[in-house]
Amino acid sequence: MGSLARKVDDSTWEAEVLKSPGLVMVDFWAVWCGPCQMVAPIVDELAAEYGDKLRVLKLNTDENPEVAGRYQIMSIPTILFFKNGQQVEKLIGARPKRQFKEVIDSLLAQTSATA
- Out of 5, 24, 26, 36, the active site residue is 36
Q: Rounded distance, CA 27 to CA 7, Å?
A: 9
Residues 6+ apart with CB under 8 A from 81: 23, 24, 25, 26, 87, 88, 89, 90, 103, 104, 107
Respond yes or no: is residue 75 known to be catalytic.
no
Active site residue 36: yes
- In whole angstroms, give the CA distance from residue 88 to residue 100: 14
> Torsions phi, psi of 39, nearest 5?
-80, -30
Identified catalytic residue from 17, 33, 104, 107: 33
Catalytic site positions: 33, 36
